Structure 1
Amino acid sequence: MSKMKNCSRLDYELTNRKSVVVENGFSLKRDGNVGSSDSVEPQDADYSHSLPSLSDEIVHRILARVPVSEHWKLCFLSRSYLDLLKSGELYKIRKEIGIEEPSVFMLACGEPHWWTFDRHFNSFRNLPALPSDPCFVAGDKESLCVGTHLLVSGKEIEGVVIWRYELAVNRWCKGPSMIRPRCLFASANCGDFACVAGGIAMGTIMEVLDSAEMYNPKNKSWNPLPKMRKGRKLCSGFYMDNKFYVIGGQDEDGNNLTCGECFDVSNKYTWELIPDILKDAPTSTSRSPPLLAVVKNELYSLEASSNQLKVYLKKSNSWKELGKVPVRADHSRGWGIAFKSFGDELLVIGGAWNSYAGHGMMICTCSPDPHNDKELRWRFLGPGRNRISHFILNCSVMLA
């Protein structure tokens, strides 16, 4: 406990230095943001004279309750805390005691690096530079969070690759690649693992895929899943009722698919077809994949053509309108908008109704009630003093 009481004094000392650098690329700059550095200068502090020492187990459970956005401060307390953070053990304890804190990882148009925000968007920092080639940096990318990994898929000069950011060590690593590299695929965080399905094969033949795979963050490996009933590209995925769903998209002839299908992760044998789950969806081929998010096991969609928020009624296989969102999803036909599950809330990031191209983004959340017809109440947040483009290239939410 004495170690935690000294945090306020430590904060004062650190924020009055020009820069303090610790192991593994973490550094604290004068404005309080955490950056990256190649220097290594671990800081050991000894507070053992204050109170009798606690057991490691108790200390670890205390530290596990520290918000993820404050974990960088542990690096300054002692080398043992730094090693604990790098080992990933804190995140295992957090999961064991039921703490899930959403963090947002985002790449906006014109930004050279990824940003990460805490759940209140009060604390933010940029990730270390992604060490990929110029082809990957300039090209389209797709992202997915699972466990404490952020997976970013894109194309380098030599082919499709996945770069993996590991939260515990604040570092990018390459791989592992999917069994069948692809783009424009559906994906979802399914708890202890992630699933991808469909998309376009990245090879000599641009084939629309019906294959699916599962990523295990524990051993950093991909495993095959049974094939879907239909091949589809530009589709979307989500996890609900312990099932991985893939809906929408286009078939190999470019026809829009209004059906969906789901895979029960408990039996892992076959896909179940869901006819007409998107029967009222617009048919524009230049439209983005369906904008979908699951909150409290309810499925929501953001209709890009009308900016309407809708909830899926499972019993009737239909959609109910809840009202308009405060951002313009229709500005680029659904592209450049982040629409995500954010713990027990919906998160929407994009351009505001009264903003012009080049202005900063709008961030808002709400907790919709599918059984209540009252007007939606949106909570407006912001990215601090940074002016970041409202056109979001990639956005993923990590629960850690």
Structure 2
Amino acid sequence: MCSDKESLAVGTELLVFGMAHIVYRYSILTNSWTRADPMNSPRCLFGSTSVGEKAYVAGGSDSCGRILSSAEMYDLETHTWTPLPCMNKTRKLCSGTFMDGKFYVIGGVTNNNKVLACGEEYDLERRSWRVIDNMSEGLDGMAGAPPLIAAVNNQLYAADYSDKDVKRYDKLNNRWITLGKLPEQCVSNDSWGIAFRACGDRLIVIGGPRTYTGGTIEIHSWIPDQQPPGWNLVAKRSSKSFVYNLAVMGC
């Protein structure tokens, strides 16, 4: 069953996917909500990303719990979903990103709760998928949480929550290089409760310390350079909950 709400920003719109596969669309231009068309194959727990006025989703789980390999593209101009070729592997709880003009889906869980260490690359021109072995090796938690990844200037980064490390993906050698640490106050439960996103030329981390009576949500940012991460605290506020999902708009 799909019960968690998920969100995806594309251009000037925010798509929110709710229960029963209902999709709502928020426009920052009109400051209004409207009911949107569902995907051709409604799903939850999918990998997603957006670039310009296009958004891409892949994998996930349908309302019967079946793990999917299908993928779709959303067009902001027409507000329509177009099916894409299926991935080579079924996967849910995966992560998506756009880099070098291609859509990447990495990590996740397949049938029998097997954690996948491979990724897949979708070539928009060739309309084909390519498996990249070990692309998310070591980035998935024991609970099968999606890898925390973000791309800045066509460079892929990851937050390794087990060791609180920030890593950069070496495309040539298909390996992860440790750059430094996440903000000290960011606390997660097998990566749940922390967000790692790109905003323009910055990486941002959203999370914070938790206690039995509540906690704090903090926003930290860093512009990747040749030095170890130097995180700047942008904002913080008290909160009784943690981060469930996050979409970044207007960067």
Q: Same fold (TM over 0.5)?
A: yes
Are 1:257 and 2:103 matched, yes or no? no
Provide the rounded CA distance (Å) in 2 between the counterparts of 1:221 and 1:327.
42
C-alpha deviation, 1:380, in angstroms: 0.8
For the 8 Å contact 2:121–2:130, the answer to whether it is kept is yes
> Deviations along 1:59-104, whole A, 9 cap, x unmatched?
xxxxxxxxxxxxxxxxxxxxxxxxxxxxxxxxxxxxxxxxxxxxxx
Q: Which has the larger radius of gyration?
A: 1
In structure 2, the residue matched to 1:395 is 246
In structure 2, the residue matched to 1:210 is 69
Q: Secondary structure at the match of 2:30?
A: coil
Task: Identify the structure with the greater helix proportion.
Answer: 1
C-alpha deviation, 1:367, in angstroms: 1.1
Distance 1:390 1:349, change over 3 A: farther
Q: Secondary structure at the match of 1:194?
A: strand
State how many pairs are aligned.
249
Provide the rounded CA distance (Å) in 2 between the counterparts of 1:266 and 1:151.
26
Are 1:361 and 2:217 matched, yes or no? yes
For the 8 Å contact 1:336–1:393, the answer to whether it is kept is yes
Provide the rounded CA distance (Å) in 2 between the counterparts of 1:341 and 1:314.
18
Aligned-pair RMSD on alpha carbons?
1.8
Provide the rounded CA distance (Å) in 1 between the counterparts of 2:148 and 2:188.
14
TM-score (norm 2): 0.93
Provide the rounded CA distance (Å) in 2 between the counterparts of 1:150 and 1:240.
21
Could you tell me which runs of 5 or more consecutive residues in structure 1 were left unpaired when the two chains were aligned. 1-135
C-alpha deviation, 1:390, in angstroms: 6.1
Residue pairs, 1:246-395, within 5 angstroms: 246-267=105-126, 269-282=127-140, 284=142, 286-327=143-184, 331-352=188-209, 356-357=211-212, 358-369=214-225, 372=226, 374-383=227-236, 387-389=238-240, 391-395=242-246
In structure 1, the residue matched to 2:56 is 195
C-alpha deviation, 1:252, in angstroms: 1.6
Are 1:153 and 2:11 matched, yes or no? no
- Identify which of 178, 194, 204 aligns with 2:39: 178
Q: Give the 4+ runs in structure 1 shifted more than 6 A.
A: none
For the 8 Å contact 2:107–2:136, the answer to whether it is kept is yes
Q: Secondary structure at the match of 1:339?
A: strand
For the 8 Å contact 1:166–1:172, the answer to whether it is kept is yes
Provide the rounded CA distance (Å) in 1 between the counterparts of 2:223 and 2:141.
29
For the 8 Å contact 2:50–2:56, the answer to whether it is kept is yes
C-alpha deviation, 1:377, in angstroms: 1.4
Provide the rounded CA distance (Å) in 1 between the counterparts of 2:98 and 2:140.
23
Percent identity of paired positions between Structure 1 and Structure 2: 41
C-alpha deviation, 1:243, in angstroms: 0.4
Provide the rounded CA distance (Å) in 2 between the counterparts of 1:295 and 1:359.
29
Residue pairs, 1:67-106, within 5 angstroms: none
The amino acid that maps onto 2:223 is: S
Provide the rounded CA distance (Å) in 2 between the counterparts of 1:258 and 1:339.
19
